[in-house]
């Protein structure tokens, strides 16, 4: 079931998440999802993105999810989904690629990126324990420092 509200971001449709998703931990209100060809965000984030000057952190989330949409289109939704669900190394590389896009936007707007917090998420149940905290933190710090 598609929500009625939608907007576009760089040619990708952004939609408010259906309410029912709040009961599914991986789809809850504190996450965003890229499910080709749409990006889904919480009601609060969606409303903020509709403002004249949206929160740059939410725009960075769109940059992150946009990268996932591009990869799903490139690989095919099924191949991407199988790789993401069943192969932790693939999932980690896809997340690092998407994180790079979001952090580029943050740095360009002179904002910070909390690598510690992100490493905790990447090494948790939310991402099916795909990587250790130490490895995630090391890679996130490297990405942040490499961005001009």
What strand order describes the sheet that includes 33-35?
6-9, 12-16, 38-41, 33-35
Q: What is the pLDDT of residues 126-147, one digit of tens each?
A: 999 999 999 999 999 999 999 9
Around Cβ 77, how many Cβ atoms within 10 Å?
13
pLDDT band per the 50, 70, 90 thresholds, residue 1: very low
Q: What is the pLDDT of residues 70-113, one digit of tens each?
A: 999 999 999 999 999 999 999 999 999 999 999 999 999 999 99
Q: Could you give the percent of the chain with pLDDT greater than 70?
A: 96
pTM over 0.85: yes
What is the distance between the alpha carbons of residues 115 and 108, in angstroms, rounded to a whole number? Answer: 17
Sequence-ordered list of residues with C-beta below 8 angstroms from that of 86, at least 6 positions apart, any chain: none
pLDDT band per the 50, 70, 90 thresholds, residue 23: confident
pLDDT of residue 26: 73
Q: Return the residue matching tokens 């599914």.
A: 24
H runs (alpha helix) in the chain: 43-49, 56-75, 77-86, 88-108, 115-122, 133-146
What is the distance between the alpha carbons of residues 19 and 21, in angstroms, rounded to a whole number? Answer: 5
């Amino acid at each position: 079931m598609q929500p009625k509200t939608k907007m576009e971001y760089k040619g990708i449709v952004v939609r408010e998440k259906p309410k029912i998703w709040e009961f599914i931990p991986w789809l809850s209100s504190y996450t965003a999802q890229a499910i080709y060809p749409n990006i889904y965000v919480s009601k609060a984030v969606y409303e903020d993105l509709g403002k004249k000057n949206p929160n740059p952190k939410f725009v960075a989330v769109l940059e992150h999810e946009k990268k996932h949409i591009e990869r799903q289109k490139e690989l095919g939704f099924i191949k991407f989904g199988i790789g993401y669900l069943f192969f932790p190394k693939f999932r980690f590389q896809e997340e690092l690629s998407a994180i790079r896009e979001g952090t580029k936007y943050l740095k360009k707007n002179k904002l910070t990126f909390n690598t510690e917090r992100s490493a905790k998420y990447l090494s948790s149940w939310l991402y099916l324990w795909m990587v250790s905290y130490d490895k995630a933190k090391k890679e996130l710090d490297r990405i942040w420092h490499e961005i001009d």
